[in-house]
A and B are shown apart, each in its own frame.
Chain A
Amino acid sequence: MGKDPQSSSRRTFYQRMIYGVSSLIATSLTIPAVGYLFPSRRKGNAGKGWTDAGDVSALPLNEPRELAFQRKRVDGWKTSTERATAWVVRTDGELIAFSPRCTHLGCGYHWETDNDRFVCPCHTSGFSITGEVLEGPAPRPLDRFETRTEGNRLWLGRVRPIPENGGQ
């Protein structure tokens, strides 16, 4: 069966249509699916806006303090208020607010007064008071919040990684 030229060309037509139409259906389902699963970031507003991190008038010189504050967080369909922290240090003429995550794998670090450095307990990365990497596997200096002050109050913006050569 199906050896005469007419039947053979009909068969080719069938096959082409089958491939064509199934690809078309598959594509028109896949494209929206990709857009849906990997939404562009333009609509998210995480990290937008400024947060009041509190009164910093009592912050001593060159002594890092961990400030806790409330911050609005937009996560998918939920907007919640969550507790957040930042390590804040007043150096000569500058107020720096570090993101409380180690730049290696995101663990929380702390300030060790005796060693005069920030130490991450996970993989023993160490950072200077201005955030430079002193030791350990951390790939870059501590990330910093954008900051501005209003009177005695410190406002934090988004977190910005600082380039390899540091902020100094």
Chain B
Amino acid sequence: MRDLIRRILDWVDHRTGFETAVKNFLYEDIPASSGWHQVFGSVALFLFFVQAFTGVLLAFNYAPQPGDAYHSLQYIVNEITGGRLIRGLHHWGSSLMVVVVGLHMIQVALWGAYKKPREATWILGVLLLLLVLAFGLTGYLLPWDNRAYWATVVTIQIAGLAPLFGEYLVEFLGGTEGVGVSTFTRFYTLHVLMLPALTVLVMMLHIHLVRKHGVTPSPRAIGKPKKKFYPGQAFKDLMAFFAVFVLLFVLAATVDVPLERLADPSDSTYVPRPEWYFLFLFQMLKFFEGRWEVVGAVILPTLAVLALLAVPFLDRAKVKRIQQRTLAFAVVGVVLAGWLALTVAADLTTPEPVASARETSPATADWRLLTPVELAGRAYFRREKCADCHNLAEGEPKMGPTLATVSQRKPTEWLMAHFGNPSEAVPGNPRPATALSDEELNGLAAFVLKLTPTNAAALEAVPPYAMRAAVIYQESQCGACHVVNGSGEESGPPLNGVGQRRTAEWLEEHFRDPQKFDPQSVMPPYDFPPDDMKAMVDYMEALPPAFQ
């Protein structure tokens, strides 16, 4: 058996050189000083494979379109076996990647491993860092929730600040018309096609150079016999993979990655925050006001990248033992401290989410005090199944916002547009356009604007007859002659108190034939069907006798 496998392997090796290549790779000579401090590059490579693996899996069930993206991600997270875990791995994997790449750079900087002849390896490494950050930036938009949307709005704005080419950058990112389908498609393409291809290419060049120049030895190891990469260092690398993998797995399995509600461009109270590794940039922006903003947004970051690229050309001293590289420690320490201070400052100044909308004018918890327009709005709300996506009061979360807390922040025009065509006001909203008349739109807006956190639960429980009656009242244009709860024209008698003045039989008969009671009456007869008639009479009787 062993013999057969040997012969097959020999046959393959003879034709492809595969085994020889693997051996070449594994039995690479490394300096005697190699050890645990040199595992970070391999760990970054490992994480790249984990990200590619989980990323491809996500793509299998992901619809790359605004709106659909959100729903397919919901589907992945809530319905597919392992979906939540795989999204968690991909999400936390990206954070760990930034950490590991950072540690890798710090190690190389402390040991001075960028020195001649390894300048090009360092430069490619800086490029890889930028690619990792670009992955994070583009991937952030793909869930298409509020967080994704608003963070990208800020990103695009910053891109636009770049001198000379800002406008072109925004155009390249598909942000000329604001964040929308173009932006999304550009970000998606960058994230899943261009960045992976570029990263693989630069990574290969980077690894090629590492092997060409060999792992950097410490001065003490020069002249000592070399070790083989396999199995000693390979073991250390793999143990490091394992430690990172366990951490990643535990994070993915236990810490839920938030999927906020669907991106809402009209949500002016949303406080966008970037991912933690961009917080320092975000914080820095606060120090530069007005026309100086470009300094914090573009010039300083660009200078920082240039400084990173220039490191091997600035430090050209001979290779020293790490114990003697005090300046390197000082520089890395200062940079880290600055980064940490900015990040902590940004975190401390992040406000809590806005608690609730302002309390407004006479909020009533009694549906009897609503005007017929508002009450009819409640009926349209039910008829149009608005409750499929919205809670009136707090309840089990639905796709759309809870109306008691958000509706008063919206201008009426926005509300009307949203009722008429939900997907126009909220891109990606799956609800088709409705065919509501202007009166109906008005009613809905009037009702929704009446909602507050304190009265929403009560207004949810309007009896069906009252909703029916309010719709009839609106359709029959009773308000053209009558006042209910202070709303309507006054040419006819006010209807508050009519239930106390008259009996139900009188009311019913009067609807059918007003002239029977008053020959001078200009009210047309309304011969409602029995159910509607009962609803109207009951509504009249339920009205408060007097309205202030």
List residues of A whose CB falls within 8 A of some B CB: 1, 11, 14-15, 17-18, 21-22, 24-25, 28-29, 31-33, 35-37, 39-40, 43, 76-78
Contacts and interface: CB of A to CB of B under 8 A. Distances in A.
**Minimum-distance CB pairs A-B, first 3:** A77-B75, A32-B82, A35-B81
Interface stretch (B66-74, B487-495, B502-510): B66-74
A77 B68 contact: yes
Interface residues on B, range: 20 to 34
A70 to B, nearest CB: 14
A42 to B, nearest CB: 10
Contact of B241 (A1, A11, A25, A32): A25
Interface stretch (B215-223, B232-240, B318-326, B340-348): B232-240
B80 A39 contact: yes
B65 to A, nearest CB: 11
Contacts of B57: 33, 36-37
A76 B72 contact: yes
A140 B251 CA distance: 52
B71 A29 contact: no
Given A21-B241, A21-B242, A25-B245, 16 more contacts: A17-B238, A17-B239, A22-B238, A28-B249, A29-B50, A36-B57, A36-B61, A36-B81, A37-B60, A39-B80, A39-B81, A43-B80, A77-B61, A77-B68, A77-B72, A77-B75
A21 to B, nearest CB: 5
B80 A21 contact: no
B86 interface: yes
A133 to B, nearest CB: 38
B50 A78 contact: no
A1 B238 CA distance: 23
A36 B53 CA distance: 12
Interface of B: 50, 53, 57, 60-61, 63, 68, 71-72, 74-75, 79-83, 85-86, 225, 231-232, 234-235, 238-239, 241-242, 245, 249
A33 B238 CA distance: 22
A31 B253 CA distance: 14
Nearest to A24: B242
B81 A40 contact: yes
A1 B53 CA distance: 39
Of B63, B82, B225, most A-chain CB atoms within 10 Å: B82
Nearest to B430: A78
A29 B242 contact: no
A18 B249 CA distance: 19
Contacts of B238: 17-18, 21-22
14 contacts: A11-B231, A14-B234, A14-B235, A17-B238, A17-B239, A29-B53, A33-B53, A33-B86, A35-B82, A36-B61, A43-B80, A76-B61, A77-B71, A77-B75
B72 A33 contact: no
Contacts of B85: 32
A24 B242 CA distance: 9
B406 to A, nearest CB: 25
Contacts of B242: 21, 24-25
Nearest to A40: B81
Nearest to B227: A1
Contacts of B231: 11, 14-15, 18
Contacts of A21: 238-239, 241-242
B96 to A, nearest CB: 14
B50 to A, nearest CB: 7
Nearest to A35: B81
A24 to B, nearest CB: 7
Contacts of A33: 53, 57, 82, 86
Contacts of A1: 225
B241 to A, nearest CB: 7
Contact of A18 (B50, B225, B235): B235
Given A21-B238, A76-B72, A77-B74, A14 B79 contact: no
Contacts of B239: 17, 21
A79 to B, nearest CB: 9
B71 A78 contact: yes
A21 B235 CA distance: 9
Of B86, B231, B241, most A-chain CB atoms within 10 Å: B231
Contacts of A11: 231
Contacts of B232: 14
Contacts of A28: 245, 249
Of B61, B232, B238, B239, most A-chain CB atoms within 10 Å: B238
Contact of A36 (B50, B68, B83): B83
Given A18-B238, A21-B239, A76 B75 contact: yes
B44 to A, nearest CB: 16
Contacts of A24: 242
Contacts of B68: 77-78
Contacts of A17: 235, 238-239
B85 to A, nearest CB: 5
A155 to B, nearest CB: 23
A3 to B, nearest CB: 14
A161 B432 CA distance: 36
Nearest to A28: B249
Contacts of A14: 231-232, 234-235
Contacts of B63: 77
A147 B185 CA distance: 45
A1 B8 CA distance: 30
Nearest to B236: A14
B93 to A, nearest CB: 11
Nearest to A33: B57
A76 B63 CA distance: 10
A137 to B, nearest CB: 34
A25 B46 CA distance: 11
Contacts of A43: 79-80
A43 to B, nearest CB: 5
